[in-house]
Amino acid sequence: MPTYTFRCKECGEEYTVFTSYSKVEEVRCPRCSSKEKERVYRKVSFSVQGGSSSCGGNCSGCSGCG
């Protein structure tokens, strides 16, 4: 399950949820139950260069997909 961090547009609460992408629309603010939210992109320690599995195994072209 991917982790999504949102900021509520109603009350400004930031919250993180574990959910599938298709369920993101249904995620509600834990504080005010609003669905109005914006995605917050955290700086993650992803290595962009030379990662063997940076594509997630979906491109069939990189070294990680073999």
| Interaction site with Zn ion (CB under 5 A) | 8, 10-11, 13, 29, 31-32, 34
CB 40, min distance to Zn ion, A = 13
**Nearer CB in complex with Zn ion: 15/62:** 15
CB 35, min distance to Zn ion, A = 9
**Backbone dihedral angles phi then psi of residue 8, each to the nearest 5 degrees:** -65, 130
Dist. CA 26–CA 63, nearest whole Å: 36
CB 2, min distance to Zn ion, A = 21
**Backbone dihedral angles phi then psi of residue 15, each to the nearest 5 degrees:** -145, 150
**Nearer CB in complex with Zn ion: 10/23:** 10
Other CB atoms closer than 10 Å to residue 8's CB: what's the count?
Answer: 20
